[in-house]
């Protein structure tokens, strides 16, 4: 059984959680998120703590147990502090700029790529670093992945859009022919 799943999720004073018909709704200073509880686990809210427990021990319920607790903890952290991902533009002439809630990327195509921010997501650009911020961890990660997919880094020069902490495995280029050797 999951050791993570047994731990209660602490609710700060600024967070309110309600459970109604298998739907957990968590509201905090950054926003409100809801989470559908699967029927194999039960969730209780008491003394500013959310406790997850199993209804019946099976192989799938044990797998869902720790995941449910981790997702609830991510929701609580998101509505209090928020989540962010940083991406880096690597390449000559690659630029990014934000106007309102639209990110415009100039990454070597004949036209700029425009990405619209959904509700709850903000973009920030400083030099060649793009920061995606929001209170929903899943949505922040998906938007960062969408931005990266516009121009993923290539393995020869490393040009493209990469996560700030990502390491690109580089390949050697073509080997030069030896001078004077017969072909």
Of 50, 80, 110, which one is at a domain's C-terminal end?
80
| pLDDT score at 43 | 93
CATH code for the domain in which residue 121 is found:
3.90.930.12
128 and 70 fall within a common domain: no
44 and 91 fall within a common domain: no
| pLDDT score at 85 | 97
Q: How does pLDDT run across 124-177, given as a tens digit for each residue?
A: 999 999 999 999 999 999 999 999 999 999 999 999 999 999 999 999 888 766
Domain count, the chain: 2
Contact at 8 Å (CB) between 83 and 134? yes
| Enclosing domain of residue 131 | 83-163
| pLDDT score at 6 | 87
Q: How does pLDDT run across 37-67, given as a tens digit for each residue?
A: 999 999 999 899 999 999 988 888 888 989 9
The pTM is what?
0.86
| pLDDT score at 173 | 84
Contact at 8 Å (CB) between 16 and 31? no
72 and 110 fall within a common domain: no
Q: Is residue 181 predicted with pLDDT exceeding 80?
A: no
Of 136, 141, 143, the residue nearest 34 (C-alpha): 136
Of 39, 59, 80, which one is at a domain's C-terminal end?
80
92: left (phi over 0), alpha (psi -120 to 50) or beta: beta
Q: How does pLDDT run across 84-124, given as a tens digit for each residue?
A: 999 999 999 999 999 999 999 999 999 999 999 999 999 99
């Amino acid at each position: 059984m999951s050791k993570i799943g047994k731990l209660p999720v602490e609710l700060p004073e600024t967070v309110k959680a309600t459970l109604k018909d298998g739907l957990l709704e968590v509201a905090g200073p950054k926003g409100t998120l809801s989470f559908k509880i699967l029927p194999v686990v039960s969730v209780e809210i008491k003394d500013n703590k959310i406790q997850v427990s199993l209804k019946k021990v099976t192989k799938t319920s044990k797998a869902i147990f720790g995941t449910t607790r981790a997702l609830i903890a991510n929701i609580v952290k998101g509505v209090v502090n928020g989540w962010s991902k940083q991406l880096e533009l690597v390449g000559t002439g690659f630029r990014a700029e934000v106007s309102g809630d639209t990110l415009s990327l100039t990454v070597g195509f004949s036209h700029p790529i425009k990405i619209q921010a959904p509700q709850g997501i903000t973009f920030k650009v400083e030099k060649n670093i793009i920061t995606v911020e929001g209170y929903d961890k899943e949505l922040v990660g998906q938007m960062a992945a969408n931005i990266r997919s516009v121009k993923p880094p290539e393995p020869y020069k490393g040009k493209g859009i990469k996560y700030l902490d990502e390491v690109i495995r580089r390949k050697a280029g073509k080997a030069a022919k030896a001078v004077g050797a017969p072909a």
